[in-house]
A and B are shown apart, each in its own frame.
Chain A
Amino acid sequence: MGSNGMKKKRTGSSSSDHHFIAFERVIKNGFVSFGRNIWLAIAAIAMMAITLTILLFAVVANSTFRHTISEITSHIDVSVYLKDSVTEKQRGDLIAQLKKTDNVKSVDYISKERALKSYREQNINNSDLLEAISETANPLPASLNIKPNDPNNLGAIKDFLDKPAIAALQSDPTSYSGDRKAAIDKITSATHFFEQAGVVGIAVFILISMLIIFNTIRMAIFNRRDELVIMRLLGASKWFIRGPFVVETMLYGIVAAGISLTVCASLFAVASSTLQASSLGLLDIGYSSHYFKEHLVLILLVQVGIGIIIGAASSIVATRRYLKLNR
């Protein structure tokens, strides 16, 4: 104002300079107010970190369930026991035909000798049984072990095996690992239930925590509303005022993601070392921890992303009403 020298200087900077300077100041002001409003920061970050952690656990638990189920279902098979009289050619034809049947993944031939051998191995500690089996000629039938692609849909295989011509070759009724399948069905439906309940639960929790984060930020901005109005009256552009708030809340998101990830990583590390041997039923901690490590980068990115989005969205909405041009 006072001197001509200043007047000359004012005209110096170009418009792209302005944008850069504004950007730099917005970032700087965001960091400064992050530091000055540390208690708000702690509250909002804690809330976000809890949400992100629960989300992470849900994702890992879900994939662990899936893994467990696929492990179990891969052990489902169909055993076809062959009469001793079946010739090599008949057997070859049967295998060829089976391989052409729908839903058949593989067919494995187990000869009488192999059956005996594995029977002996399975009962190595039971000398009575071993003795009994040694006294006669090998009583165990040769068998075909069929692995299906989809264990829940054995219809085609069953139909084929029940044909009279095929049934005539079999010494015993076909074994469909009946007991196992019932158990697997139960597990599968339980998992479906958990999955659905989990999705609903997570959605509700995210909603609640977003509301809390939202409100925390809104209150903070409410406390500083005079500041916003003054800035507006001085001719600050919307984004110059809002930017620092958005930067600040985005920082909350980033820090919260970092905390959440650290907590989860240490939990998995502790859990997998102490629970390594023990089985928690469906929850294979070893796999969970492996999955976590495998997808660490992705998980980090998603968490940071969600944190940033929640933070930015709440501050944009919360500042909106104070940024109106005409009050």
Chain B
Amino acid sequence: MDRVTKTYNRRGSALERVSLHVEPKEFVIIVGPSGAGKSTLFKLLTREEKPTSGKIIVGGIDYDKLKDKDVPLLRRKIGVVFQDFKLLLNKTAYENVAFALEIAGIPNREIKHTVPKVLDLVGLKGKERNYPLELSGGERQRVAIARAVVRQPKILIADEPTGNLDPKYAWDVIKVLEKINRYGTTVLLTTHNQDIVNSLKRRVVTIKDGQIAGDRAVGQYKDA
């Protein structure tokens, strides 16, 4: 159900003829130096950018045939976690997560039922009423993850979710991602953290200068 096949050809710098196939329920780590094209890759997936050429298919949706008005629907099917959290600061943790469901037109009673469960899943029980600024970095990122997964996406994209976090909090976040992957969600993760890559023992795709430089089933972080 969840197949990612892309071949694209971005002019020169960002990504060049990158082909990548990800199986459903896979956990893929994407590594590479800054500016290698990891973020571009994710922006293409969330349709923040359009490929210059090439084809992107996510979960059976062909991006070439995707109409602009359907982009919001696509984004609702993809959970995204950002390095800088991108939480709504004037909403509480609960409201941030609930907002993702409100957008999708989920009835109120279902929101009331679902949101606490997801906050519990990411270990934020009791923090529902806190605003993002009252939470630690790791907690904020877990709110962001809760928001990304509350709609039960088939695919979760985490762009350096640990980039701004202390190692201690970083591990909390990674554990949550693993848990989510166990429940059946495809996870795409980028990170610079060598320890995380090495201990996760997952598929590692290395991107360098806009091209795939390595793809190993159980990868180790290499200073490629």
Q: Count contacts between A and B, CB distance < 8 Å.
A: 93
With both chains docked as a complex, state the minimum distance between the C-beta of A16 and any C-beta of chain B, in angstroms: 10
Of the residues A3, A236, A326, contact of B103 by C-beta under 8 Å: A236
Q: Does B206 contact A (CB under 8 A)?
A: no
Please choose the segment from B8-16, B72-80, B190-198, B215-223 that sits at the chain A interface, where 4 or more of its residues have CB less than 8 A away. Answer: B72-80
Of the residues A10, A36, A226, A232, contact of B152 by C-beta under 8 Å: A10
Q: Does A231 contact B (CB under 8 A)?
A: yes
Cβ < 8 Å to B, chain A residues 11-59:
12-13, 17-19, 21-22, 25, 36
Q: Does B17 contact A (CB under 8 A)?
A: no
A236 touches B49 (CB 8 A): no
What CA separation (Å) do A83 and B78 show in the bound complex? 103
Inter-chain contacts of A232 with B (CB < 8 A): 72, 75
Inter-chain contacts of B105 with A (CB < 8 A): 13, 17-19, 21-22
Of the residues A6, A234, A325, contact of B147 by C-beta under 8 Å: A234
What CA separation (Å) do A227 and B86 show in the bound complex? 8
A235 touches B48 (CB 8 A): no
Of the residues B71, B74, B107, B117, contact of A3 by C-beta under 8 Å: B117
Interface majority SS (helix, strand, loop, mixed), chain B: helix
Inter-chain contacts of A326 with B (CB < 8 A): 47-50
Q: Does B114 contact A (CB under 8 A)?
A: yes
Known: A325-B71, A326-B47. A1 touches B149 (CB 8 A): yes
Cβ < 8 Å to A, chain B residues 21-61:
46-50
Instruction: Considering the complex, give the chain A residue whose CB is closest to the CB of B100.
Output: A234
Of the residues A3, A18, A233, contact of B46 by C-beta under 8 Å: A233
Inter-chain contacts of B168 with A (CB < 8 A): none
What CA separation (Å) do A260 and B224 show in the bound complex? 69
Cβ < 8 Å to A, chain B residues 67-111:
68-69, 71-78, 80, 86-88, 90, 99-100, 102-108, 110
Known: A2-B118, A325-B71. A9 touches B113 (CB 8 A): yes
Instruction: Considering the complex, give the chain A residue whose CB is closest to the CB of B147.
Output: A234
Inter-chain contacts of B149 with A (CB < 8 A): 1
Cβ < 8 Å to A, chain B residues 119-177:
120-121, 147, 149-150, 152
Q: Does A237 contact B (CB under 8 A)?
A: yes
What CA separation (Å) do A230 and B148 show in the bound complex? 12
B106 touches A13 (CB 8 A): yes
What CA separation (Å) do A226 and B80 show in the bound complex? 16
What CA separation (Å) do A163 and B36 show in the bound complex? 104
B107 touches A6 (CB 8 A): no
Number of B residues whose C-beta is below 8 Å from A?
Answer: 43
Category for how many chain A residues contact B: 20 to 34
With both chains docked as a complex, state the minimum distance between the C-beta of A28 and any C-beta of chain B, in angstroms: 10
B71 touches A2 (CB 8 A): no
Of the residues A3, A18, A229, A235, contact of B72 by C-beta under 8 Å: A235
B107 touches A1 (CB 8 A): no
What CA separation (Å) do A36 and B49 show in the bound complex? 33
Inter-chain contacts of B75 with A (CB < 8 A): 232-235
Inter-chain contacts of A18 with B (CB < 8 A): 105
Inter-chain contacts of B49 with A (CB < 8 A): 326-327
A1 touches B118 (CB 8 A): yes
With both chains docked as a complex, state the minimum distance between the C-beta of B87 and any C-beta of chain A, in angstroms: 8
Q: Does B4 contact A (CB under 8 A)?
A: no
Q: Does A240 contact B (CB under 8 A)?
A: yes
Of the candidates A234, A236, A240, the one having the most CB atoms from chain B within 10 angstroms of its own CB is A234
Q: Does A117 contact B (CB under 8 A)?
A: no
What CA separation (Å) do A25 and B103 show in the bound complex? 9
What CA separation (Å) do A327 and B100 show in the bound complex? 21
With both chains docked as a complex, state the minimum distance between the C-beta of A30 and any C-beta of chain B, in angstroms: 14
A230 touches B88 (CB 8 A): yes
Instruction: Considering the complex, give the chain A residue whose CB is closest to the CB of B149.
Output: A1
Q: Could you list 15 further interchain pairs (A-B, Cβ under 8 angstroms) beyond the known A1-B180, A12-B110? A: A1-B121, A1-B183, A2-B118, A13-B105, A17-B105, A229-B86, A231-B103, A233-B75, A235-B75, A235-B103, A235-B104, A236-B72, A237-B69, A325-B47, A327-B49
Q: Residues on B close to A: CB < 8 A?
A: 46-50, 68-69, 71-78, 80, 86-88, 90, 99-100, 102-108, 110, 113-114, 117-118, 120-121, 147, 149-150, 152, 180, 183, 185
